[in-house]
Chain A
Amino acid sequence: MQKENVLTRRDLLARSMGVAGAFTLGGSFIAATDAAWALEVKHLQPRTMATLVQMARDIYPHDSIGDEFYAIAVKGYDTPEQAPGIEEGIAMLDGMSGGGYLDIGWEADRNAVLRRVQDTEFFQMIRGGLVVGLYNQKEVWPIFGYEGESFSKGGYMDRGFNDINWL
Chain B
Amino acid sequence: MENSADLKRTPLHALHRELGAKMVPFAGYEMPVQYPAGILAEHQHTRKAAGLFDVSHMGQMRLSGGDTVAALERLVPGDIAGLAPMRQRYTQFTDDDAGILDDLMVANGGDHLALVVNAACKEQDAEHLRTYLPPEVKLERFEDRGLLALQGPAAAAVLAKLAPEVAAMKFMSVANATLAGIPCTLTRSGYTGEDGYEISVPGDAAEKLARRLLEDPAVKPIGLGARDSLRLEAGLCLYGHDIDRSTTPVEADLVWSIGKRRREQGRFPGAAKIVDQIANGPTRKRVGILPDGRAPIREGTELQDASGRQIGKITSGGFGPSFGGPIAMGYVEMAQAAPGTALSAILRGTPQPVKVAPLPFVKTNYHRG
Q: Do A and B come from one complex?
A: no
